[in-house]
Structures are given as structure tokens and as C-alpha cells.
Amino acid sequence: MRPTVFLFDIDGTLITTGGSGRRAMERGFGAVHGRPEAMRFPMDGMTDRLIVRQALAAIAVEATDAEIDRVLDAYVAVLHEEVASVPDDRYRVHAGMREAIEGAIARGAAVGLGTGNVRAGAQVKLDRVGLGQTFRFGGFGCDAESRVDLIRIGAERGAAELGLPVGACRVVVIGDTPKDVAAARGIGAECVAVGTGNYAPEALLASGARAAFRDLSAPGALDALFTGG
């Protein structure tokens, strides 16, 4: 296998969290501004910082870095409680994901995250399913507000893990939204997409994914991931 960097999205891709992230975000925003309803818009594929920026705009509050950080700190503070409250049957790793991670590691790839979650929030969510120590690097929502930029950062960190320039690596983003696809394409990477979120594989292919499957347990999915086949 060519030297490869894999960047896994979290929500809707690696795991389903039973809505705990949204609830924690609304609670955090409500604790700071008393307006949790300002967060009630589609968040698929958005970075945490962009989510807070959009909610602040909805209540006409200037979205300074300090103000965004204040909301995100409140969000992380309640995320532990929200994650712990979700029943096991609603908080799970999607089919094929553990096998994909194990297979990538066995092949010597750099296996990281490409997620709009801030790093602290990602840790809380992944700890619940035993994946908190699996990923040594990533591009996170605290690195950049733009998904393209955080994917670029994740790719550069993954290439450094391999001791190579990013241009010498195959970079593969695994995601579940057209925003994941667009971010991958924005840095010249591939996207292998999964229909485990709110978008069907057909819609993800139409948005430019190189391959898309119902999940990574589908026939041919791991081949597409590891060999580009």
C-alpha cells in the first residue's frame, strides 16, 4: 500500500452519539446566553466553531474568538454528562469502522481524525466507545473553523507521522456528508464516504466522493479504502 494518511470524521461516520453532542451544544449555549433555541439548525459537517459563530449571529452577538471559546468551554463541560446519559443501543461505533482502523494500522498507515469537533469534545465522545487512545493525531475544529483547513492540517500531521511530505502520501478522508467530500477535494485528497449519517451513498457520490457505501462493512468498502479499488 502506498504511504497513506487516513482521516476519520467522528459524528455520523465513526460513531452515532444519540444526539448527545447537539444537546450539549444547546445546553452550553444556553448556559452562556440563555438562548438554546439559537442552535436549532442543521449542523451536519459543520465545525464546532462555525456552529457557535452561526448561533451567535442569530442572536446578534459579536462572534469574537473569546466569545466562541466561552461557549465551547461550557459545551465541553456538559458533554461528559450528555454522553454518559445515552443508552448503549443509541451510542455505538458504525459497522466496519473498527475493522477499517485495525486494517489501516496493520498496513502501516497514519490513522487520524478529520473532525469539526474541538479536540476535548472529540476525546469525550470517543472515550465512551474505547477509541479515545486510538488516534495519535488529527485535524480538529479547534485548529481551524474551515473544514478544508482542518483537513489540510490533519493531512500534514499524518504525513509527519510517516516521516514524509504530504505530497508523497495518499490522503483519504472518511466522512458522511458532502462537506467532508468537499474538504477532501479542497486539498486534493480522496473521500471514501459512508451513508451512516443523513446522506445516502448516491448523494455522496454525486457530491464528488471517490467511493461511497452504506457503511464500511459493505462489499468492496475496505478494498476501496486500502487500495483505491
CA gap 11, 32 in Å, rounded: 24
- Distances 139 to 49, 113, 134 between C-alpha atoms, Å: 13, 6, 15
User: What pLDDT, in 10s, does the model give residues 167-180?
Assistant: 999 999 999 999 99
Mean pLDDT of 140-169: 97
pLDDT band at 40; cut points 50, 70, 90: confident
User: What pLDDT, in 10s, does the model give residues 180-220?
Assistant: 999 999 999 999 999 999 999 999 999 999 999 999 999 99
Q: Is 138 exposed, middle or buried (0-12, 13-18, 19+ CB in 10 A)?
A: buried
pLDDT value of residue 228 = 79
- Distances 195 to 42, 69, 177, 213, 217 between C-alpha atoms, Å: 17, 32, 8, 6, 12
Length of the chain: 229
Closest by alpha carbon to 186, among 138, 145, 228, 149? 149
User: What pLDDT, in 10s, does the model give residues 106-124?
Assistant: 999 999 999 999 999 999 9
Asked whether residue 224 carries a pLDDT value surpassing 90, the answer given is: yes
pTM of the model as a whole: 0.95
Helix (H, G, I), strand (E, B) or coil at 102: helix
C-alpha cell recorded at residue 143: 485548529
List phi, psi (to 5°) of 14.
-70, -45
Closest by alpha carbon to 117, among 177, 172, 179, 50? 50
